[in-house]
Amino acid sequence: MSAANEKRIHGYTAEFSTVPSLLAACRRVRDAGYTQTDAYTPFPVHGIDEALGIRPTVLPWIALAGGLTGTITAFTMEIWMNGINYPYIISGKPFVSLPAFVPVGFELTILLASFGAFFGMLALNKLPRFSNPLFAHPRFDAATDDKFFLFIGADDARYNEEGVRRLLADLGSEAIDPVVEDDSSDQVPRWLINIGLTVALLSVIPLLFVARMRVTTSSSPRFHVFHDMDYTPSKQTQRLTTIFADGRTMRPDVPGTVSRAQGAYDPDFYTGIDMAALALLDPDRAERLVRFGMQPPQEEAPPAEPAPAAAAEPPSEPPAAEPPAAETPATETAATETPAAEAAAQPAVPPAPVDNTPWLKKNPLTLDEATLRRGQAQFNIYCAVCHGQDGGGNGLVNVRAQQNVVDNKWVPPSNISEPTFAAAVYPDGKLFATISQGKGKMAGYAAQMKPEDRWAVVAYVRAIQLSRNAAEGDVPAAELEKLQAAP
């Protein structure tokens, strides 16, 4: 004991062989007023907290605080991100849409509550800790085997070496041992600090590189980590190739290709243009349309636009001067779309050229109720979202856009009942072509609707125009009477 006497005492342990003797000893020590006590047992012992006088832990409050922090953080973050900082419509839901935010709120609540419980437990137990003076106790290993230890710390307010020894002896303990303070240096070794500092300094270097690159420019090409994702073997559009004599990667249709159609191919029906008449006016274009089953180009866009702003190409570029590559529908549409969009943004464009395309004046379908019903169904599916079910231009898309588009860049859909769309100035064939290819911001619907359905929609649009512009005299007398009689 002489060696131990020279060192400071950390506390005393008393050793027991049974749970009841340990519990009895704990109660005695608790009643004697000691608070810096602990018990070490090979398995959990019921009632030991109470026997030692350990007060209920505050851990649940830490977990609760963590959980609430998670809830509040999640909802604040989501409301800020999607509702305020970057308002973005997702799935047609409102920007601040609580049901959608709940899953993230739930997860973050669980996560931070678990963190609170786990790290709170570590902190309350003063862990992690690399050493404990008890580890130096020669018999302490038995606490993981078959012995029970009661410990009284020297930092207890009531601690008094002689008193503690006497109390423990009185408890029927089998062995009472002093635990000496671990007096090895608690200084971190110098070499460890040096290594840590060096690593910390080195780790800043990549950050400095990043910071420098953010404020400078470079003329060298990008560094490609995944080469095959940047350079694919397949050719991209509008590129050159050595495989074909003409050097184009985009191949035109083989001459004589016939469009996919049921039965005989009727170019009038698929383009809305009277081909016989067009052949007299512009034989080249007529031939091209017939041979490739093409859509009529959009640059022949109408003068009969609601506003000059929405007119198509400027007159400086005559319709005849088509780009030579314009033999495929894709390029033709692409070539015309951009100027049209630009024109929409510049109100001061001179009037568009006269549209001399011989559009079909008459709908080729048999106009009966079935056709109109079909047209109504298709109109309500594809057109009504923008133009509205009454064609007035106030569909759901427009309603939402008016609420949410903040920069006044929204061009509202046309009111199809306006006089500019009347059959006299906007023939059926032209309406068909507009539905097929789109106009301005409106996309073409040739891919979605069969030609028959597009013609049916044309018929239904005429019906809407008739109904919206009807006068009282248009109503049959009998019907009028019925209406007037109704309350």
Partner 1 sequence: MSEHTMKTPDDPTLRLPQAVAKRAVPLMATGAVLLVAGILLGTATPGGMKFAMGAYLTAFIYVLTIALGALFFVLIQHLCRAGWSVTVRRVAELFMSTLPMLGLLFIPVLGTLFFGQGTLYKWDDPQWIQDHHPEWATNSKGFYLQDWFFTLRALIYFGIWSFLARYYFQTSRRQDETAELRLTEKMQALSGPGVILFALSLSFAAFDWLMSMEPAWFSTMFGVYIFAGGILSALSGMLVTIFLLQRGGTIRDEVTVEHFHDFGKLIFGFITFWTYIAFSQYLLIWYANIPEETFWFKYRQENGWTAISLLLPICHWLLPFIGTMSRHVRRRPALMCFWACWILVVHFIDIYWIVMPTVTHEMEIGLLGGISGVLVSLLCTLGMIGLFIGGVLRSGESAPWIPVRDPRLHESLAFHNL
Output 106 or 265, the one with its CB closest to partner 1.
106
CA distance 43 to 225: 55
Q: Which of 185, 188, 186, 182 is nearest to 135 (CA)?
A: 182
Residues in Cβ contact with 380 at an 8 Å cutoff, skipping those fewer than 6 apart: 389
CA distance 477 to 479: 5
The two tokens of residue 205 are 């270097």
Give me the least distance between CB of 106 and partner 1, in Å please: 8
Output 67 or 391, the one with its CB closest to partner 1.
67
CA distance 265 to 451: 12
The two tokens of residue 138 are 């020669």
Q: How far is the first Cα of the chain from the last one, in angstroms, to the nearest whole number?
A: 113
Give me the least distance between CB of 46 and partner 1, in Å please: 4
* Amino acid symbol at 315: P
Cα 86 to Cα 71, 398, 406, 407: the distances in Å are 21, 21, 13, 14
Output 64 or 122, the one with its CB closest to partner 1.
64
Output 47 or 172, the one with its CB closest to partner 1.
47
- Residue 213 has φ and ψ, to the nearest 5°, of -65, -25
Number of Cβ atoms within 10 Å of the Cβ of 296: 23
The 3-class secondary structure across 114-144, one letter per residue, is HHHHHHHHHHHCCCCCCCCHHHHCCCHHHHH
Q: Which of 345, 378, 346 is nearest to 459 (CA)?
A: 378
Output 99 or 189, the one with its CB closest to partner 1.
99
Give me the least distance between CB of 19 and partner 1, in Å please: 11
Give me the least distance between CB of 67 and partner 1, in Å please: 10
Output 111 or 423, the one with its CB closest to partner 1.
111
Q: What is the DSSP letter of 54?
A: P
Give me the least distance between CB of 417 and partner 1, in Å please: 29
Which position has the token pair 């080195």?
Answer: 202
Give me the least distance between CB of 403 and partner 1, in Å please: 18
Which position has the token pair 């009895």?
Answer: 24
Q: Distance between alpha carbon 219 and the CA centroid of its chain, in Å?
A: 34
Output 24 or 102, the one with its CB closest to partner 1.
102
Judged by the rule CB under 8 A, the positions of this chain that interact with partner 1 are: 44, 46-47, 56, 60, 64, 91-93, 99-100, 102-103
The two tokens of residue 314 are 């400027």
The two tokens of residue 273 are 């243009």
Give me the least distance between CB of 319 and partner 1, in Å please: 46
Give me the least distance between CB of 116 and partner 1, in Å please: 14
For residue 15, what is the enclosing H or E element? strand 9-16
Give me the least distance between CB of 450 and partner 1, in Å please: 25
Give me the least distance between CB of 402 and partner 1, in Å please: 21
Give me the least distance between CB of 256 and partner 1, in Å please: 45
- 235-273 b/e (C-beta count within 10 Å ≥ 16 → b): eeeeeeeeeeeeeeeeeeeeeeeeeeeeeeeebbbbbbb
Contact 148, 43 (CB under 8 A): no
